[in-house]
Amino acid sequence: MFKKWIKRLIDFVLSLVMIILLSPILILVYVLVQNKLGRPAVFKQERPGLQGNVFTMYKFRSMADERDGNGELLPDAVRLTTFGKLLRASSLDELPELFNILRGDMSFVGPRPLLVRYLDRYTAEQARRHDVRPGLTGWAQVNGRNAISWEDKFKLDVWYVDHWNLWLDFKILWMTFIKVFRREGIQAADHATMEEFMGTENKGGIK
């Protein structure tokens, strides 16, 4: 319990300091996104957090709002512009999540918060990823990110839940810095974004 309190204190203080120090960059990216991709510059979406409780996550939008003749959004690969790819590769699109960390919705390190509709698709083991706060980065992100399968990603998430300690968090943060610098694992092979998780077949789960 004490270690978790220390983790939350570090999250609060560090996120507050980073918001203050990075405020010029936050403002600059906000203006650029509005000019290049349109409004709203900040993308909001409900995501499950600790114990599956839903919160609103903030990110800078990285895709245009282009639609077909029927008013349906075009595929992600079409809407993801060169500017959007740059935002993702540099992880600048993630900066608004500092406010989620400040509020306690998220932590700097933990399993990434995924879509709410995935909640009933997890096996009981995979659902354990919600036993800790979701993170800006995590063990799965520094071990493949979008370049590995959903099942491997969830195994890494649960491994983190079972082995979490402050030193592991510091290691993950350092590895994240290296990954972002090298721009590794930003997107899945042949896809602009990770394919939707539809459930794990015949692996002791629901599907």
Give the C-alpha distances (Å, rounded to integers) separating 10 from 45, 54, 63, 107, 140. 25, 23, 32, 9, 21
Cβ(60)–Cβ(33) under 8 Å?
A: yes
Q: What is the pTM of this model?
A: 0.85
Assign 189 a pLDDT band (cuts: 50, 70, 90). very low
Return the pLDDT at 157. 97
Residues 6+ apart with CB under 8 A from 110: 132, 133, 134, 135, 138, 160
Class of residue 167 by CB neighbours under 10 A (exposed 0-12, middle 13-18, buried 19+): exposed
Cβ(109)–Cβ(137) under 8 Å?
A: yes
Quick: pLDDT tens for 81-138: 888 888 888 889 999 999 999 999 999 999 999 999 999 999 999 999 999 999 999 9
Which H or E run contains 54? strand 54-60
Return the pLDDT at 184. 62
Give the C-alpha distances (Å, rounded to integers) separating 57 from 79, 96, 148. 21, 8, 23
Chain CA centroid to CA 81, Å:
19
Domain extent listing, the chain: 2-182
Residues 6+ apart with CB under 8 A from 124: 204, 205
